[in-house]
A and B are shown apart, each in its own frame.
Chain A
C-alpha cells in the first residue's frame, strides 16, 4: 500500500497564503517542490475560512448598513429580504473560485500538490497520509513548516452545534436572533458586525477594559461609538462564567461590573478569543526543531529553525498572525534556501480590522512608543476636515502619523474610517522607505480623496494643514 519513497528538493507542509507563496516562488526559482495540505486546493484558513469569506460577508454587511444610512439622504429602501442560501452560495463561489485558481497555479508551476497530512520522521524525511487513504514517505532537501493556527477553545465551553468558532461562524448556517460573541478582538467584531447587519441582536463580551486590545484608543473610539448603535450591547470587563447549551437555546452566565442581568439566553454563541499555533502532531520531536512556551516554532531572521534543513513561517512561528506576513516570510525562507542574501526585517507589517469603520495601522503604535519610552510627535488629521469623507457621510474617521521629532521620520501610521485598509498601504510604503513628514507633505495627493488625509496629517505636523487651523506650538 505504501508507494515508493518520494523525493523533493523542497517540501512545504501547509498550503495557506504563506505555504503556497513559498512553494510557488521555489518552483519559479527552479526547485522541485511538493506542497502538502489536507484541503483539496491551496488556500489555507485565509481562503477557505478566514480573510476571504469574511470579507465577502463584510462587504454585504457594509452594503446593508449604507442602504439604511441612505434614508438620511432622501433615499428610502424597503427592509431587505435576505436569501441566506443564496448569500452562502455566493460566499462559497468566491472561495471556490479563488482556491481553484491557486490549484491551477500550482499545476502550471509543476508543484506536486498532495492532499494529505504530513508528519516529520527526521531532518530530511516525512511520512504522509493522504485524504484518500493512501500513505507514503518522502525525502527532502529542505522543508518549510507552514501549518498555521487554529481558533483557541475555551475550557468550560461544551461541544454543541450552538457554540461556534470563527469557522462555524463563517458557515452562515442560520442568522440567530440572539448572538453572543465572546471576545472583542478583530475576529469577534468582524463576525459580530456581519450577523448584526443580517439582523441578529448581537452582544459582545470582552474580558479587558476595551475593544481591540493593543490598538491605540483614538483609533478604536469611532468604531466603538458606531458599534454602540449597530450592536445590541458591548460588555467590557466581562467574563463568561457558565455556558449551558439547551435544545433550542444557550443559557449563559456573565460576570462583570457592567452586567446588570447575569443570566442570559442566546440562540448561538460565537467564540473568538484568539488563535493558537498548529505545532503539535507534526513529528517535530523527531527533529531538532525547538518550540517556545506558547507553542510557536523558534526561527531566526531567515526563518530557519534549530534544525538546519527545516524552515518555518506564518502563524506557527509567531505574531502577528496575518496572511501577508506569512507570504512575505515564505518568500524570504525560499530565497534563503536558494542561497540568496535575504533577511525578514520589515519596518512595518500592516494590520487591518475590516469592521465599519475599518481600522488600520502599521509601524510603531502609540502604545509601543510608550512602552519603549520612545519620544514621538503624533500628528492627527480628523476626517471631519476631509471633503471626501463628508461626501460619504462619514466624518468619523481619523488619520494620524507617529513622527520622530528629531529626524521627522514617519515611524507609524494609524487610520480609522471606511477604506482604511486600502489607505494604510501608503503608510507602509512611507515607513518602509524611511520617509520623512516632508516627503508625505510634498507628494501631491489626488483631490477629493481620503488619501489626502495622509498628506494633511503631515502638514499638521508642521502646523500648516490647509483644512485645519492648528498652529504649531
Chain B
C-alpha cells in the first residue's frame, strides 16, 4: 500500500485548489502519469504519480483545498519498489505469518502516523529525539507528540517560558490556519464591496465561484491599481524592415525556435532596460528606497483557457535572440497546457503584454507590481506613411507603456519609449551604443 502526497510545488505554495481528478479507484497508474489537476494562485498544474500502482482509495475531490504533503490517493503497489508506508502499524503488532519467516511488516517506528491526522504539519522525525526536554509538563509533551508537533518549536507563554497544553494547541492551530501565501500582511486593505442588486429582477442569471487564479489576479490587480499612480504613454514603431527580416529568417528556423515579434521586443526591451535602469527597478516606500535589479528577467503575459498567466524568460540580456524566442515559445506552450510551474512565474523585473494577436491597437496595461513599468503591444498594421514626397505602405506597431509615476517622470518614459521605437525600426542602433542618441 502506498500513498501519493501533494509534492512541493514551489516556494511559498502551501495550498492548492483541486480542479479535476484524472483517475478513479481501480485504475492502474504509472509513474509520472498525471492524477489530479490543481490550481495555485499563479497557475494550473498537473500532479503526476511518483510510482506504479492500482488506485485503491481517492482522498481528494474537485473543489478540495489541498495542502502540500497531504495525501491524494492510496494505491496497491505493483512496482518492484515496495517501500515503507506511512500507515500506522496494526495494533497490537501481528504475529509472524510463519514461524520461520522474518516479519515483513517491520514496525517502522510509526513515523507518528501523520497520515491519520486531519491536517498536515511537520512530521516528527522517525527516530525519536533523545535530547534536552522542553520546559513543559509530561502531559503537554505527550500532547505535542500526539499532534505531531515538535515541542521545541512551541513558544511557551507561561512564566519563565513554560509550555502549557494550551501553547501546544495554539501552536498547532497556527500551523493549520497559517495563510497559504504566508503573507497576510501583504493583502491590500480592502474597501468593503457595496451590496449587489438582485439581478434576477431583470432576467435569469448564473452564478459561479471565482477560480483561485482569478481571485489572485483580482487581488493583485486591485492592489496595483489602488497603490500605483498610473500613467500610460503611446507611441508607434515602423517595423516593416524588421518584419521582413523576421519572415526571411523563419524560413530556415525549425518551428519551435521561430522568431516572434514578442520575442524580438523582449530582447530589445532588455537592451532598453540596460540603457534606462530606472525601468528595471522596484520602489521600497517602506524603507524610502529604490531597488535596482542587475538581472533582466522579462515576464510576458500569456492568454490561456483559464485566464492570464505571466511566465518569465530569465537573463534575457545574456541570451541570443534565437534562444529567447525558443524559450518563450516553450513557456507559452507549457502555460497553455497548464504545466508552467509557479517558480517559472516569479522574479520578473519588467513585463511585456502582447494583445496584437487579437487585433487590438492601443490600451493601458496595469503595472505588474512590484515592477514599475509594463509595455503593451497592439497589432501591427499597414498604414500610409508620408515619406520622401509620397505615401508609402508601412507596417506600424502600436506601443503602450504604463508606468509608476511616483518613480518615473513623463520625460523618462518618453525617452524610453522613443528609444524602443527607434531601435525596432533600425535594430542596427543596438550595435551603436557608443553613439549619443
Contact = CB atoms under 8 A, between A and B. Distances in A.
A432 B137 contact: yes
Interface stretch (A51-59, A242-250, A274-282, A301-309): A301-309
Given A9-B95, A142-B93, A434-B162, A309 B107 contact: yes
Interface in B87-143: 88-96, 99-103, 106-107, 109-110, 112-113, 124, 127-130, 133-138, 141-142
Nearest to B96: A124
B107 A30 contact: no
Contacts of A142: 93, 107
Interface stretch (A111-119, A183-191, A341-349, A384-392): A341-349
A182 to B, nearest CB: 35
Interface in A321-369: 336-339, 341-347
Nearest to B93: A141
Interface string A1-43: 0000101011000000000000000100111000000000000
B435 interface: no
A407 B127 CA distance: 30
Contacts of B124: 341
Given A5-B99, A407-B161, A409-B160, A300 B88 contact: no
Nearest to B95: A141
B183 interface: no
Nearest to B92: A31
A304 B134 CA distance: 23
B88 to A, nearest CB: 5
A309 B93 CA distance: 10
A85 B160 CA distance: 57
A342 B144 CA distance: 11
Interface in B275-312: none
A125 interface: yes
Contacts of A304: 109
A298 to B, nearest CB: 12
B96 A10 contact: no
B92 A337 contact: yes
A35 to B, nearest CB: 16
B136 A434 contact: yes
A430 B100 CA distance: 49
Contacts of B411: none
A436 interface: yes
B101 to A, nearest CB: 8
A141 B103 contact: yes
Interface residues of B, number: 41
Contact of A9 (B93, B102, B130): B93
Nearest to B99: A139
Nearest to A347: B133
Contacts of B103: 123-124, 141, 309
A142 B138 CA distance: 27
A438 B142 CA distance: 25
Given A300-B127, A342-B145, A125 B160 contact: no
A339 B110 CA distance: 6
Contact of A302 (B100, B128, B137, B159): B128
Interface string A425-461: 0000000111010100000000000000000000000
**Contact residue range for chain A?**
35 or more
A408 interface: yes
A436 B145 CA distance: 24
B146 interface: yes
Contacts of B133: 345-347
Nearest to A31: B92
B92 A341 contact: no
A339 B89 contact: yes
A93 B128 CA distance: 43
Nearest to A7: B95
B93 to A, nearest CB: 5
B132 to A, nearest CB: 9
Contacts of B129: 301, 343, 345
Residue from A26, A302, A434 whose CB has the most chain B CB atoms within 10 Å: A434
A303 B161 CA distance: 30
Contacts of A346: 133
Contacts of B101: 124
Contacts of A408: 159-160
A141 B98 CA distance: 11
Contacts of A10: 92-93
A438 B102 CA distance: 55
B107 A308 contact: yes
A79 B168 CA distance: 62
B95 A339 contact: no
A336 B145 CA distance: 12
A433 B142 CA distance: 12
A116 to B, nearest CB: 18
A329 B101 CA distance: 29
Contact of A125 (B99, B110, B135): B99
Nearest to A438: B159
B130 A345 contact: yes
Contacts of B127: 300-301
A408 B141 CA distance: 20
A26 B163 CA distance: 31
Contact of B92 (A30, A122, A345, A407): A30
A436 B159 contact: yes
B145 to A, nearest CB: 4
Contacts of A30: 92
B353 to A, nearest CB: 53
A192 B146 CA distance: 48
Contact of B110 (A124, A140, A341, A438): A341
A343 B142 CA distance: 9
Contacts of B148: 341
Contacts of B136: 434
Contacts of B137: 432-434
B94 A141 contact: yes
Nearest to A431: B133
Interface in A280-320: 300-302, 304, 308-309
Nearest to B148: A341
A9 B161 CA distance: 43
A337 B89 CA distance: 9
Interface of A: 5, 7, 9-10, 26, 29-31, 122-125, 139-142, 300-302, 304, 308-309, 336-339, 341-347, 407-409, 432-434, 436, 438
Given A7-B95, A141-B92, A309-B107, 6 more contacts: A10-B93, A31-B92, A124-B99, A308-B106, A433-B138, A434-B134
12 contacts: A7-B95, A10-B92, A30-B92, A141-B94, A141-B96, A308-B106, A339-B89, A339-B93, A341-B112, A343-B145, A345-B130, A407-B161
Instruction: Give 8 nearest A-B pairs by CB, closest first.
Output: A301-B128, A139-B99, A434-B135, A407-B160, A343-B128, A31-B92, A341-B145, A301-B130
